Amino acid sequence: MKISLTGHSSRTMDMTSGPIFPNIIRFTIPLILTGTLQLLYNAADIIVVGKFGSDTSLAAVSSTGALINLIVNVFMGLSIGASVLVSQSFGAGKMKDVSDAVHTSVAIALLSGVIVGIFGFFASRGMLELMDSPDDVIDLSALYVKIFFIGTPFNMLYNFGAAILRAVGDTKRPLYFLMFSGIINVILNLVFVISFGMDVAGVALATIISQAVSAILVTICLMRTDGPVKLYIRKIKIHWSKLVKIIGVGLPAGIQGSVFSISNVIIQSSVNAFGSAVMGGNGAAASIEGFIYTAMNSVYQAAITFAGQNYGAKKFKRIKTTAYECLGIVITVGFGLGVLAKLFATQLLSIYTDSESEIAYGIVRMNVICLTYFTCGTMDVMVGMLRGIGRSLIPTIDSILCVCGFRILWIFTYFASYKATGASVSDCLTTLYISYPISWIMATAVHIICFLIFFAIAKKRAAREAGIEPSALE
């Protein structure tokens, strides 16, 4: 596969003019493909250990996602802050600010990658114990997580670099880089696990090698590209004014992601209590649902970037149109894919495992999540719109209360009391999983109200600064 690393201004996308809907589609399709490929490669980890590893390997690998996200998300949220800052500066035509944001972002990526890697490596075992990881799973889970965190600097560098490119409308090159590194990941999975018998350690090692490849590719791309996002190694440093702005948007996003992960860790702990078969089925179902989520998350990223560029350009009518069209797209995509996943749940789960019990428990989860998953997409789109107009703390507070707070309350009250009745495992799991769609619907409603309020405030402020009527900003 030949990959061009040289950049041209034609790769960027001006989202402040022209038709919105076709540009959203053009922006999101490479993101959907990127996310799908990433999930395919992650699924390959689970499939390989599920088919060729030890009896508990599937549970060991599939149950670590919530813990990894809990540790990584605070810093990964800063990449959202970088994306918003770059897109707003790009939309406003402030190219010096774009360049400063790029070099600050790369510095943050390297520094945060080292910090997260060290912390995750040494804290992983203790946190798995707090999650009540079963004795027959915890050793393999800890090994996988420790190796994974060794590669965190590469993971951070790729995600920040990809966020920079997407902020100016370039979603294709991150896709190419992921395709190349993902192929390496799959090949190494098969070699390490089947040929070398490395089991969980093999898929973890394959993951960090492929992450290193993608990080190198995106760095070379930024160094060779033309325009304001060009990276100069000697200029990598933290510009404090840009750091403050990145933190202002990114830290609340990261905190939200980590708090989400806390609720998911608690849910995962509840799942763990039912044993390795339930853990395996839950993990396989979650992996399948990830394909739906990545399609919806691509629309969320479009919402951030389109709102950010148009906010920088003070084109408020286009911001409102972006919200309507992104909501329509995410509902259509989320519900359509959810229906397909539910219809073919047994066949899809059979790809991951041959265990009838794991498949049965996976179906329990998918019966609840698949048809309601589009509400998670609507929630995320409204979060993206709020962050695009510079309001990152508001959706964080909303999400902590409506999603995380509600789920934790649900688990320790209604779910706990229902479980105490001696109900079947399947019924208990259904009761647990219902907390997901209820929380998504609650958060979506609050986010929409907040967006309407803060959109009006931002529009009036921009009009006042320009000495014009708000209607003139249409």
Q: What local confidence, expressed as pLDDT, does residue 404 receive?
A: 86
Mean confidence (pLDDT) of the chain: 86
Structure tokens at 46: 């689970």
Q: pLDDT per residue over 360-375, tens digit each?
A: 999 999 999 999 999 9
The answer to whether 379 and 326 are in contact (CB under 8 A) is no
Q: CB under 8 Å to 99, separation ≥6 — which residues?
A: 228, 229, 230, 235
The label of the residue with tokens 């609840």 reads 368
Q: What local confidence, expressed as pLDDT, does residue 2 receive?
A: 43
CA dist 186 and 145 (Å) reads 19
CA dist 338 and 329 (Å) reads 14
The answer to whether 158 and 215 are in contact (CB under 8 A) is yes
pLDDT band at 5 (very low <50, low <70, confident <90, very high): very low
Average confidence (pLDDT) over 162-181? 87
Within 13 Å and on the Cβ side, how many CA atoms surround 127?
25
pLDDT band at 66 (very low <50, low <70, confident <90, very high): low
Q: What local confidence, expressed as pLDDT, does residue 416 receive?
A: 92
CA dist 164 and 353 (Å) reads 38
Average confidence (pLDDT) over 61-77? 73
Residue type, 8: H
The label of the residue with tokens 């996002």 reads 229
CA dist 266 and 262 (Å) reads 6
Residue type, 359: I
CA dist 308 and 16 (Å) reads 10
Q: pLDDT per residue over 293-348, tens digit each?
A: 888 988 998 998 899 888 888 888 899 999 999 999 999 999 999 999 999 999 99
pLDDT band at 188 (very low <50, low <70, confident <90, very high): very high
DSSP summary character for residue 420: T
132 has pLDDT over 90: no
CA dist 208 and 213 (Å) reads 9
Among the residue ranges 7-16, 240-249, 265-274, the one predicted with the least confidence is 7-16
Q: Residue 353, SS3? A: coil
Kindly provide the b/e burial profile for residues 176-194, where b requires at least 16 CB atoms within 10 angstroms of the residue's own CB: bbbbbbbebbbebbbebbe
The answer to whether 455 and 322 are in contact (CB under 8 A) is no
pLDDT higher at 143 or 197 = 143
The answer to whether 15 and 310 are in contact (CB under 8 A) is yes
